[in-house]
Chains A and B, each alone.
Chain A
Amino acid sequence: MWPQQFDYQRADSIAGALAAIGADGKFLAGGHSLLPAMKLRLSTPDQLVDISRIDALRGIANGNGSLSIGGAATHADIAASAAVGAACPALAQACGMVGDQAVRNFGTLGGNIAHADPASDPPSVLVAVGASVTIASADGERTVGAEDFFVDLFETALDDGELITSINVPDLSDHQMAYVKLPHPASRYAIVGVCVALMMDGDTCGHAHVGVGGATVKAVKCAGAEAALAGSSLDDAALSAAVAALSDDIGEWLTGDVAYPEAYRSAMAGVFLKRAISAAKG
């Protein structure tokens, strides 16, 4: 399989990319979400603007209590980044679980979230920790919270001609966190993926961040589960309450298929919440 015809341009700056993009064009970063969709003719842009060599989009920097990850930073770079490992280790874990090594070498976080596959790993981390997405267009720049960025199945807040310039992740190095997943045996995408970040005060959980993907049409921040965990000692009763609350949190967005139905994914979201908490506590 191969894509339909299109025009290809390579941009060497953000401004150049924004100037080049046409009405039915798409930005090409690693292409590891876009090209498979184009090969299967699920996506048929008439123009690709290659942004993979724009240095300004590739960096990973930590400053002012926040990680700034360029939209064209690869999953492999993020997984291996010491800065990410320190500030948001669950994101490094999640990026390290995307596809396989060859896919991670080229696929980018910006491309990943623009594609908004609900079964991809990083989005549940991004919504859990309250990351934001900086988006540029010919009209200027805007920043959207991760929760608002992911709108629905394969649907984001991105408008035509908008480019993800950075993903901004709060420095949660004082949290204990983990991303765990139940992989689909064929695709290795998440049947369910859960990110948990815990602010512990001794044995008490001050607050918790919880995000779920895979089981849902988009990554979902789970406020109910967070509330159930906050202030608890993460004992069995609190965990059960959190699992019950999580079920409500994701209920509206739950999805499934013939092989892995909703009921199973819903139950596994609870199971993997507990496993994520256990992994976060170490």
Chain B
Amino acid sequence: MHVSMTINGEAVSREVEARTLLVHFIREDLDLTGTKIGCDTSQCGACTIHVNGKIAKACTLLAAQADGADITTIEGLAENGEHHPMQTAFWENHGLQCGYCTPGMIMASAAFVRDNPGASEGDIRHYLEGNICRCTGYHNIVKAVKQVADAAAGGA
């Protein structure tokens, strides 16, 4: 079947099997490999992207379901060559180690702070239940997200 969508501001159009998962479409067909696969069951969040501005687990959507959607992946988060504040915060706060969960973490956290400026540490820890990191113990991830959340509240 035919699917078309906008990814990171660019219109794409491909012929795919109906069963093609969105994450495989993005990684294999479009070669945007920043979006990762870490589980089979929608638990780990490594494949988190934005679909029409909302976070989505790309392993639990068909490419067909995203037909016509506006999608942002980690490769499209930076604007005009500048890191998104969440990317910067992860870097500054040592919020990553092996980096595999990082794209999903950043995509989820960026949407969260956009919708919840000023979120508390507890809010952040609860929200991150959909994203698993095996390296950092979450400490510095929470610190990074809190930094951006605080800044967002300050600027609001």
Seen from chain A, the residues whose Cβ lies within 8 Å of a Cβ on chain B are 1-8, 10, 28, 31-32, 35-36, 39-40, 48, 50, 52, 76, 99-103, 105-106, 186-188
Knowing A103-B130, A188-B129, the reply to whether A36 touches B108 (Cβ < 8 A) is no
Docked pose: A35 CA to B60 CA in angstroms: 6
State in angstroms the CA–CA spacing of A4 and B127 once bound together: 32
In the complex, residue of chain A having the shortest beta-carbon distance to the beta carbon of B59: A39
- Number of B residues with CB within 8 Å of any CB on chain A: 32
Q: Could you write out 23 A-B pairs with CB less than 8 Å apart?
A: A2-B21, A2-B24, A4-B19, A8-B1, A8-B19, A31-B60, A31-B61, A31-B62, A35-B21, A35-B62, A36-B40, A36-B60, A40-B40, A50-B65, A99-B130, A100-B45, A100-B127, A100-B131, A101-B111, A101-B127, A103-B57, A105-B54, A106-B61
Digitize B36-59: 1 where CB-to-A-CB distance is under 8 Å, 0 elsewhere.
Answer: 000011110100100100111101
Q: In the complex, what residue of chain B is closest to A105 when comparing beta carbons? A: B54
Distance between A34 CB and nearest chain B CB, rounded to angstroms: 10
Contact A35 B108 (CB under 8 A): no
The 5 closest A-B pairs by CB, nearest first: A100-B130, A8-B18, A1-B40, A105-B54, A102-B55
A101 touches B112 (CB 8 A): yes
Q: Are B130 and A52 in contact (CB under 8 A)?
A: no
Does B41 lie within 8 Å of A36, measured CB to CB? yes
B145 in contact (CB, < 8 A): no
CB atoms of B55 and A105 under 8 A apart: yes
Contacts of B41 in A (CB 8 A): 36, 39-40
Q: Is the CB of B112 within 8 A of A35?
A: no
Contact of B48 among A6, A99, A102 (CB under 8 A): A102
Complex: how many Å from CA A244 to CA B60? 41
Interface string of B10-29 (1 = CB under 8 A from A): 00000001111100100000
A3 neighbours in B (Cβ, 8 Å): 19
Is B142 among interface residues, defined by CB-CB distance under 8 A?
no
Residue in A1, A5, A36, A103 whose CB lies within 8 Å of B18: A5
Residues of A within 8 A of B131 (CB): 100
Q: Does B64 contact A (CB under 8 A)?
A: yes
A58: min CB distance to chain B, Å:
14
Question: Shortest Cβ distance from A257 into chain B, in angstroms?
Answer: 16
Bound-state Cα–Cα, A146 to B41, Å: 28
Contact B18 A48 (CB under 8 A): yes
Complex Cα gap A121–B133 (Å)? 26
Please give me the residue from chain A that is nearest to B55 by CB atom.
A102
Q: Which B residues are in CB contact (< 8 Å) with A31?
A: 60-62, 65
Q: Which residues of B contact A35 (CB under 8 A)?
A: 21, 60-62
- From B18, B40, B51, B65, A39 is in contact (CB under 8 Å) with B40
Instruction: State A6–B19 Cα separation when bound (angstroms).
Output: 7
Chain B neighbourhood of A7, CB < 8 A: 18
How distant is the Cα of A40 from the Cα of B60 in the complex, in angstroms?
12
**Alpha-carbon distance A11/B57, docked complex (angstroms):** 23
A20 vs chain B, min Cβ distance (A): 14
Whole-angstrom distance from the CB of A77 to the nearest CB of chain B? 11
